[in-house]
């Protein structure tokens, strides 16, 4: 699903590379954590996969496509095969829960009838049935993140990228979000989640990819947060 070979990313404004010489493969259907302290390059990694940034050198392949060679006009098409979730939810505050999810489908050209059918389904999947007509500000943080996940999952992506999705949530709510991501992973979607949260990582016993100052320092099939440093 994901293949990185000798990938480095150097931002123009910064002196040290945000990522350097990363080699990595993630198989279809895997669940992997990306961990590391702030500034270690987790977000940069996600942005490369989203094709928000282009690697300075090396090859980034997602679902068989080399992103460095992807034409600009194909970027939108590429992103439709991905879903992404962020720490700050990124919901539209003037739209209801259902409209937020529907918006993503609408702007990618899905038919009205399809949207009417899919939105309630996916809201039910994330446990928000009954809250479809709420506004985001009427929801808790955890619920807002569920909306974001519903939006990311609505078009059944091959790969779900979650960049510190629990960063703004309390431990209990974080646990619920984790379970939700795990449920999504069980539908066959590859999930990549970056986090600081050691309890989650330790509890899950999933693959751990650890970055430090832009270098890949650990890649362990059933890792915990603390070991290896």
Partner 1 sequence: MFADVLRGLRRNVTMTIAMILTTAISLCLLGAGLIVARMTDQMRQIYGDKVEVTIYLNEKVSSQDPNCQAKTCQALGDALNKDSDVDRVTYQSQSAAWQQYQQMFAGQPEMLQIAKQSDLNSSWHVKLKDPQQYKVIQARYQDFPGVKSVNDQSQTLDRLFNVLNGIRNATIIVALVQALAAFLLIANTVQVAAYTRRTETSIMRLVGASRWRTQIPFILEAVVAAVAGAILAIGGLVAMKYLFVDKTLGTIMNAGILPPIDGTALVWVSPWLGGIAVGLAGIASYATLRLYVRL
Please report whether residue 157 would count as binding ligand ADP according to CB under 6 A.
no
End-to-end CA distance of the chain: 28
Please report whether residue 15 would count as binding ligand ADP according to CB under 6 A.
no
CB 141 within 8 A of CB 169: yes
Please report whether residue 44 would count as binding Mg ion according to CB under 5 A.
no
Tell me which residues in 200-219 interact with partner 1 (CB under 8 A). Answer: none
Shortest separation between residue 106's beta carbon and ligand ADP, angstroms: 30
Please report whether residue 43 would count as binding Mg ion according to CB under 5 A.
yes
In the list Mg ion, partner 1, ligand ADP, none, the entry touching 104 (Cβ below 5 to 8 angstroms by class) is partner 1
Nearer to ligand ADP, 3 or 212 (CB): 212
Shortest separation between residue 42's beta carbon and Mg ion, angstroms: 5
The closest alpha carbon to 80, from 150, 145, 158, belongs to: 158
Shortest separation between residue 34's beta carbon and ligand ADP, angstroms: 8
Helix (H, G, I), strand (E, B), or coil: what is residue 61?
strand
Please report whether residue 165 would count as binding ligand ADP according to CB under 6 A.
no
Residues touching Mg ion: how many (CB under 5 A)?
Answer: 1
Q: Where are the alpha helices (DSSP H) in 36-170?
A: 42-50, 75-80, 97-106, 112-125, 141-153
Q: Which stretch, 2-10, 107-115, 134-142, 201-209, contacts partner 1 (CB under 8 A)?
A: 107-115
Q: Is 135 exposed, middle or buried (0-12, 13-18, 19+ CB in 10 A)?
A: middle
CB 219 within 8 A of CB 24: yes
- β-bridge partners, 220: 208
Please report whether residue 107 would count as binding partner 1 according to CB under 8 A.
yes
Tell me which residues in 31-50 interact with ligand ADP (CB under 6 A). Answer: 36, 38-44
Shortest separation between residue 38's beta carbon and ligand ADP, angstroms: 4
Please report whether residue 149 would count as binding partner 1 according to CB under 8 A.
no
CA distance 1 to 26: 6
- Lay out the site mask for partner 1 across 54-83 (x = CB under 8 A, - = otherwise): ------------------xx--xxxxxxx-
CB neighbourhood size of 130 (10 A): 10
Residues 6+ apart with CB under 8 A from 111: none
The closest alpha carbon to 91, from 78, 103, 106, belongs to: 103
CA distance 67 to 55: 9
Q: Which residues bind ligand ADP (CB under 6 A)?
A: 11, 13-14, 18, 36, 38-44
Residues that bind partner 1 (CB under 8 A): 50, 72-73, 76-82, 84, 90, 92, 103-104, 107-109, 151-152, 155
């Amino acid at each position: 699903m994901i293949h990185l070979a000798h990938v480095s990313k150097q931002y123009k404004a910064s002196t040290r590379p945000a990522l350097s010489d990363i080699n990595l493969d993630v198989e279809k259907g895997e669940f992997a954590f990306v961990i590391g302290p702030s500034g270690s390059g987790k977000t940069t990694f996600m942005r490369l996969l989203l094709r928000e940034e282009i690697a300075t050198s090396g090859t980034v392949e997602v679902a068989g496509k080399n992103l460095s060679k992807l034409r600009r006009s194909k970027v939108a098409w590429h992103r439709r095969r991905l879903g992404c979730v962020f720490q700050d939810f990124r919901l539209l505050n003037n739209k209801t829960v259902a409209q937020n999810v529907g918006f993503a489908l609408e702007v990618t050209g899905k038919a009205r009838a399809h949207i009417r059918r899919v939105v309630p389904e996916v809201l039910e999947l994330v446990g928000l049935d009954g809250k479809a007509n709420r506004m985001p500000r009427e929801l808790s943080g955890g619920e807002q993140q569920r909306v974001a996940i519903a939006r990311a999952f609505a078009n059944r992506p091959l790969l779900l990228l979650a960049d510190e999705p629990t960063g703004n949530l309390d431990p209990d709510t974080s646990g619920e979000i984790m379970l939700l991501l795990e449920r999504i992973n069980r539908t066959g979607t590859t999930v990549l989640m970056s986090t600081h949260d050691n309890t989650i990582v330790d509890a899950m016993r999933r693959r751990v990819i650890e970055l430090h100052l832009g270098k890949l320092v650990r890649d362990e099939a059933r890792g915990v947060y603390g070991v290896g440093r």
